Amino acid sequence: MKSFRNWRVFNKREFEEELENIRLNDLIKPEMNTNTIMSLVYNKVLKLLDDMAPYKKLTQKEIQLQQKPWITSEILLIMQKRDALYKDFAKEKNSEF
């Protein structure tokens, strides 16, 4: 199953504030090498992202729409209106309609 980060709930200002609150001096020890330090910082930022922009599983419809990038949200709205009009037409008993 495919998934992606849900950026709709992401608050950039809040994320920046949380990043500023991370005290790197408390994480870093003098005996650590640069790879370990980078890994710690990366994991800290990744955990913060997981909290503020969690992963969301794609539905089957979303996966299909990703495979057809030419179908925009505007086209989807027009298709919904078309289908609603057809439904109303199909319910109509008067053949002159």
**56-65 own/partner pairs: CB under 8 Å, 24+ apart:** 56/3, 56/4, 56/5, 56/6, 57/1, 57/2, 57/3, 58/1, 58/2, 58/3, 58/4, 63/2
Please, which pLDDT band fits residue 3 given cuts at 50, 70 and 90?
Answer: confident
Q: Which of 7-11, 25-29, 77-81 has the highest mean pLDDT?
A: 77-81
- Give the pLDDT confidence score for residue 96 in this predicted structure: 67
Please, which pLDDT band fits residue 61 given cuts at 50, 70 and 90?
Answer: confident
